[in-house]
Amino acid sequence: MTLTSDRYYYLAAGAVIVATLAGIVVAYPRLPSIVPMHWNAHRNVDGWGPKWMLFLWGPAMMSLIAALFSALRWLSPKKFEVDSFRTTYLYIMILIVGMLGYINSMVVISALGAPFDMSRAVEGCICGLILLLGNVLGKVRRNFFVGIRTPWSLADERVWYATHRLGAKTFFIAGLAGLLAVILRAPFWLPIAAILCAAFVPAIYSLVFYKQLERRGEV
């Protein structure tokens, strides 16, 4: 992958940030001075803040994430470089920036008085993110910043690959199941439980597989 193609990922992230910023600027005069910022498990607003915080938790946070992903490439130690899976790494950056942009836009729409279920909108977004991560998780190489980074997966490359192949399946299934649960208006805890299982199962597997290798004297 060339530096030119890298630029397209950062340009895409920049476009999402600018679009989010533009949405806030356009809506800003019509927004109340205090806007909803957080919803509880019962889908009621339990957190408020001044409307200028939309810039902080939207474009500013998204820009920080993009900058952090850029810095982590330089910070990666040898044999654990994120450049070994650069396309996937930058794709994950786009997913996270896009998720933050979506959530910020939904907060703006909610603050304008649009009647919709914000909690389900966010749950659906997170489930979609998990599903899309599942599509690429098997391509993530051993590193200290992204992926299923347990002590056992980091300790042995075979454990890392096996854990992430399993994680790719559990993330995809959990994301899909979570999306269906949101669409069917299932209880709020069901998508959350699916996501927790998606992460928990491969993490435990990494321990079990490592201990198997350890008993055989292969680590």
Instruction: Quickly tell me which residue has 């949405």 as its tokens.
Output: 23
pLDDT at residue 55 is higher than 90: yes
Residue 23: which domain range?
A: 1-116
Q: Are residues 76 and 152 in the same domain?
A: no
Rounded Cα distance between 43 and 189, Å, is: 12
Rounded Cα distance between 60 and 65, Å, is: 9
Check if the beta carbon of residue 182 is closer than 8 Å to that of residue 120.
yes
pLDDT digits (tens, 9 = 90+) for 163-205: 999 999 999 999 999 999 999 988 888 999 999 999 999 999 9
Q: What is the structure's pLDDT at 47?
A: 83
pLDDT at residue 87 is higher than 60: yes
Domain final residue, candidates 82, 116, 150: 116
Average confidence (pLDDT) over 18-27: 96
pLDDT digits (tens, 9 = 90+) for 114-162: 887 888 899 999 999 999 999 999 999 999 999 999 999 999 999 999 9
Q: Are residues 124 and 80 in the same domain?
A: no
Q: Are residues 17 and 99 in the same domain?
A: yes
- Please tell me the total count of domains within the chain: 2
Q: What is the structure's pLDDT at 37?
A: 86
Q: Are residues 35 and 112 in the same domain?
A: yes
The verdict on pTM exceeding 0.95 is no
Check if the beta carbon of residue 153 is closer than 8 Å to that of residue 142.
yes
Average confidence (pLDDT) over 30-56: 87
Q: Are residues 188 and 211 in the same domain?
A: yes
